[in-house]
Amino acid sequence: MSQNRRDFLKTFAAIGTTAATLTAVTPNIAKGSSRRELSIDRKGVLVDTTVCIGCGKCEWACKTAHNMEAGNFDDYSSQLTDGSQRRPSENALTVVNQIDTSIMNSDKVKLQCMHCDHPACESACIVSAITKQENGAVTWDTDKCIGCRYCMVACPFQIPAFEYQKALDPKIVKCDFCYDRTKEGKLPACVEICPVGALTYGTREELLIEAKRRISKDPDKYFDHVFGEYEVGGTSWLYLAENNLVNKVFPKLGTNTAPGVSESIQHGLFAYFVPPVALYALLGGVMWLSKNKDKNEGGH
């Protein structure tokens, strides 16, 4: 019996060694990358906060396009002046806040899902309900969603919201980049309604060129940074502002993809099943040794 176990463990150790060698030899797969290649023509929106007047029409249009209770068209601009920093929620997929409420007429910033190039939510979703679409939108399949809310925890921008108020069939909600509208060739509802054109819809590539053109043309007007170009591996929504938005509007985020960290740990942990096997092997070895010890002691 003990002989059998020894054989068993030997075999296992051999497999483990082979697997470990294999891991070392196999080229490193880009960590946290989506399974699909990102399309060069993926769309984005350039938000020029210096242009935004805070009318809140985008909020109204968003609700209307998503069949949500929208209320009065004219009541939106007054929400800015109460000084609160609102967050996108299950009742409002996008919100506009005044960045610095202590200064009258300071810049306004629109918040919604950033539609990351490497979405942490997609990576975190255990049922693969969330998808990064070819056009850049990060969408989700309500039928697949089991309501685990992992995406809410994973999102570096704290965007996905959950319908906590609904007792029956609560759902995850967030900005879907007007996926249904853009499929038909329409602009996203917010982009379409913006009276001052603070939002520009286009391919991410062309928007980055345009953003940099604006900065170089007006270096006094803009803070020299396009937020979203590299943050968490790049986002579809890009921001231009007079001042640095980091720590004021957005958290300080590195340029590594958000799922990069978690996936490298997870994938590393379970890569080719080596670490678990190694762990069990170690434990098995300890057990075996101690058992042998017991036997020897018992023999005396």
Partner 1 sequence: MRKLFYLILLVFLASNLFAQNKLSKLHSKQNLDCSTCHECEVPTKTNPCLALCPRDKGKGTTHKVEDAPKVLEINKIKGEKDLYGAVNFSHKIHAEMSEMANGCVTCHHYNPPGKMVSCDFCHNTERSESKANIPDLKSAYHRQCMGCHTTWEEESRCENCHALNDEHKSTSTTSEIVKVHDSVTRPQTKVYETPNTNKGKVVTFHHNDHIELFGLECVDCHKDESCQSCHNQKPNFKKAENKVQHSSCNTCHETEDEKQCAKCHQESETKAFNHFAKTGFDLNKYHSKNTCSSCHKTKGSYTGLNSQCKNCHTWNNENFKHSITGLELNEEHSELDCTDCHENNNYKKPTCTSCHDESEGFIVPKKLPGKRIK
Distance of CA 200 to the CA centre of its chain: 21
Question: Residue 191's CB: how many other CB atoms inside 10 A?
Answer: 23
Contact between 104 and partner 1 by CB under 8 A: the answer reads: yes
**Choice between 4 and 78, CB closer to partner 1:** 78
Contact between 96 and partner 1 by CB under 8 A: the answer reads: no
Give the whole-angstrom CA distance, residue 200 versus residue 5. Answer: 67
- Binding residues for partner 1, how many (CB under 8 A)? 25
Give the whole-angstrom CA distance, residue 210 versus residue 206. Answer: 6
What is the x/- site pattern for partner 1, positions 178-217, by CB under 8 A? -------xxx---xx-xxxx--x-x---xx-xx--x----
User: Residue from 3, 105, 247, 296 that binds partner 1 (CB under 8 A)?
Assistant: 105
| Nearest of 68, 82, 43, 38 to residue 191 by alpha carbon | 43
Output the smallest distance, CB 104 to partner 1, in A. Answer: 6
User: Residue from 32, 42, 43, 46 that binds partner 1 (CB under 8 A)?
Assistant: 46
> Vertex 133, ends 128 and 135: CA angle to 5°?
170
Which stretches does DSSP call E strand in 65-162?
A: 95-98, 108-111, 130-132, 138-140, 161-162
What is the x/- site pattern for partner 1, positions 252-291, by CB under 8 A? ----------------------------------------
Contact between 74 and partner 1 by CB under 8 A: the answer reads: yes
Output the smallest distance, CB 127 to partner 1, in A. Answer: 35
**Choice between 55 and 155, CB closer to partner 1:** 55
Contact between 72 and partner 1 by CB under 8 A: the answer reads: no
Output the smallest distance, CB 197 to partner 1, in A. Answer: 3
Long-range contacts for 35-40 (Cβ within 8 Å, ≥24 apart)?
36/132, 36/134, 38/117, 38/132, 39/134, 39/135, 39/136, 40/203, 40/205
**Choice between 51 and 277, CB closer to partner 1:** 51
Return all residues near 50 (Cβ < 8 A) that are at least 6 apart: 107, 221, 222, 240, 241, 242
**Choice between 43 and 118, CB closer to partner 1:** 43
Give the whole-angstrom CA distance, residue 57 versus residue 52. Answer: 11
User: Residue from 32, 34, 49, 55 that binds partner 1 (CB under 8 A)?
Assistant: 55
**Choice between 143 and 184, CB closer to partner 1:** 184
Question: Residue 202's CB: how many other CB atoms inside 10 A?
Answer: 15
* Segment lying near partner 1 (by CB under 8 A), choices 4-12, 15-23, 49-57, 267-275: 49-57
SS3 state at 97: strand
Contact between 101 and partner 1 by CB under 8 A: the answer reads: no
Q: Interface residues with partner 1 (CB under 8 A)?
A: 46, 51, 53, 55, 74, 77-78, 104-105, 185-187, 191-192, 194-197, 200, 202, 206-207, 209-210, 213
